Copies of this chain bind each other. A is one copy, B any other.
Amino acid sequence: MKISTKVEYGLIALTDIAMNSEQGTAVSASEIAQRQHISQKYLEQILMLLKQAGFVRAQKGLKGGYSLAKPTASVKLSEVLNALDNSILADTYTPEDAQNEGLRPTVNACLWGRINLYLRELTTNITLETFLEQCRESAEQSWDYYNI
């Protein structure tokens, strides 16, 4: 499944903020950009999406930056993805589709609709909390892998 950089960077940024603002300090866009090798200006646009959707709060000025606006357990991955790209979990259903005399509506209903439902269920059941836990486990595993 092809993921746009916007969605990928957005999730990386959210993860970076979660991991690096634990002491109550905000994480600036420039920090994230440097750490994750992402264009800062592009990242700023993406961070605005995360802020508008209520996942992070922003603090302007010196020592400002972004911090989490909610407890990680209440952040559903499906909602984060929707905030970054509202087509990623959506059915691409058009009004003309419904009037199509061919197989298009049927295939849409039977297959793509079913796949999207599946994806929504999957991503609804992943929270930022569980995701961060998996990231830590994954990091440990690759550490072991290279050192044993």
- Spell out A's residues near B (CB within 8 Å): 1-3, 8, 11-12, 15-16, 35-37, 77, 87-90, 92, 100-104, 106-107, 109-112, 115-116, 118-119, 122-123, 126, 131, 134-135, 138-139
**Which residues in B have their C-beta under 8 angstroms from that of A11?**
107, 111
B92–A2 CB distance below 8 A: yes
A-B contact pairs, 15 of them (CB 8 A): A1-B112, A1-B119, A8-B107, A11-B111, A12-B107, A15-B107, A16-B103, A35-B102, A36-B102, A36-B103, A37-B101, A106-B138, A110-B135, A111-B126, A118-B122
A110–B89 CB distance below 8 A: no
B102–A12 CB distance below 8 A: yes
A89 to B131, CA, bound (A): 21
**Which residues in B have their C-beta under 8 angstroms from that of A88?**
1-2
8 closest Cβ contacts across the A-B interface? A36-B102, A110-B134, A12-B103, A106-B135, A110-B138, A2-B87, A110-B135, A106-B138
